[in-house]
Amino acid sequence: MTTTAVSSAPSPQDAFIYGRLINLVRTGQAVTRPELERETGLGRKVIAQRVRQAMEVGLLENGEMAPSQGGRPSRTLTLRNEAGHAYSAVIGATEMSAAVTTLDGTLVDFAHQDWESADRADETLERLDAMFSRLAQRTRTRPWAFGIGVAGPVDFSAGALVAPPIMPGWNGFNVRSWFRERYDAPVWVDNDVNVMALGEWHRGTPSDGRDLLYILVDLGIGAGLVSGGSVFRGHHGAAGDIGHIQVTDDPAVLCRCGRTGCLEAVSGGWGLVQRLLPEASASPALSAVLKQGRSLTPQDVGLAAAAGDPLASSAVEESLDAVARTVATLVSFANPGTVVLGGGALRIGPEIVDRFARTLVERTSDLAGSDLVVRSASLDFREGVIGAALLAIEQLFNPAAVGLWIEEGTPVGRAAMLHRAAIASTTRPPRTA
């Protein structure tokens, strides 16, 4: 008989309350023992016992003394952010980034390498896993959870890609299962622009919790909306996939997706190069590239525009205006407080953001545009890995999940249970008659 083990096992309700207590401290809503008593309605003894337990497993630690409220001063509590680590990655159109962060999304280490979106899914993940192994050795950490952003629509609950236009071989590929065969840690997969938006919302230039619309202008074009602190994913996870909205009737504007007139074909780096190729001889900068026997890249166009080449500059401006007009429609619909421009387009120079902001505000309704903040991404192209890590951490501390591991002080070894709980908590309730 294992009566001792059974009697010491916490009830689900107990674990839930313990999880709530940790989250109150983590989010700063209640940081002293008396505040925790007030917020949870639990007695002093129970709170003291739980706090002691959380300290013993290394999750909480003592902070500074709280300002006195008249009575005896209380010591504050903080989450030990280095108690665990998230491993995160962004698999973009042309490069892969990987990072290790602490439990508040602070970068501990970072790596990146070039990558071709045509590469096979399993080979790509082998390379990413090798990057994670090197990061694990360098940081002497192990992953509590993985957060991975990929350049395509993602079925969030399954962790798999759905018909990604620029990564055709990845259709239906389950990134979560691939990592789960190698690690007993929960894995969260999302669209790359969604995690960039999340990173900027949490850790970018502060914006008083305003809803944030992130616009990626790179090889492709995408959008991510964070509202009330959460990513808006839509019914199938395809929200924000704006690159293939039709913006012109011109049948000559062919897109990589097989259709014509897409925003990405007009304004993405790939589309920009295709449009400029026939007239490149009129530009000294671009024809110089072609004379070297190289094929033209979006970076060449950006460099030429930054150097004032008239043809490249006007093509970049037209592209940016087309993005701004589309984003004006989104702003009129969703009314975010902040619009962030990110991606390789930023490398052309700061005037890019000014022009984008002008066109956007001109085209936006008065009320939605009245105190709209338009700015460039502020995390040095690392908002994606930071956001992906925060996504994984938020899932670990999700009220439905945290109770499942909090007693042990680590989620390692509970991946299957955590996935089931998180998916059950996001499943829509049945419609009542």
Residues near Zn ion (CB under 5 A) are 244, 255, 257, 259, 262
Cβ proximity to Zn ion, 244 vs 275, nearer residue: 244
111: β partners? 98
Cβ proximity to Zn ion, 203 vs 244, nearer residue: 244
Cβ proximity to Zn ion, 171 vs 227, nearer residue: 171
Cβ proximity to Zn ion, 255 vs 341, nearer residue: 255
Q: Minimum Å distance from CB 339 to Zn ion?
A: 22
Q: Minimum Å distance from CB 266 to Zn ion?
A: 10
Cβ proximity to Zn ion, 202 vs 256, nearer residue: 256
Q: Minimum Å distance from CB 264 to Zn ion?
A: 5
Long-range Cβ contact pairs of 282-290 (< 8 A, separation 24 or more): 282/311, 283/309, 283/310, 283/311, 283/312, 284/309, 285/309, 285/312, 286/311, 286/312
Q: Minimum Å distance from CB 355 to Zn ion?
A: 24
Q: Minimum Å distance from CB 352 to Zn ion?
A: 23
Q: What is the Cα–Cα distance from 290 to 298, expressed in whole angstroms?
A: 13
Angle at CA of residue 83, ends 82 and 87, nearest 5°: 70
Q: Minimum Å distance from CB 344 to Zn ion?
A: 19
Compute how many other C-beta atoms are within 10 angstroms of the C-beta atom of residue 354: 12
Angle between helices 351-363 and 310-334 (to 10 degrees): 40
Q: Minimum Å distance from CB 165 to Zn ion?
A: 6
202, 161 contact by CB (below 8 A): no
Cβ proximity to Zn ion, 152 vs 159, nearer residue: 152
Q: Minimum Å distance from CB 253 to Zn ion?
A: 9
Strands 95-101 and 107-114: antiparallel
216: β partners? 222, 342
Angle at CA of residue 251, ends 250 and 254, nearest 5°: 105
Cβ proximity to Zn ion, 259 vs 358, nearer residue: 259
Cβ proximity to Zn ion, 15 vs 245, nearer residue: 245
Cβ proximity to Zn ion, 253 vs 377, nearer residue: 253
Cβ proximity to Zn ion, 98 vs 166, nearer residue: 166
Q: Minimum Å distance from CB 162 to Zn ion?
A: 16
Amino acid at 386: I
Amino acid at 109: D
Residue with token string 């001889």: 281
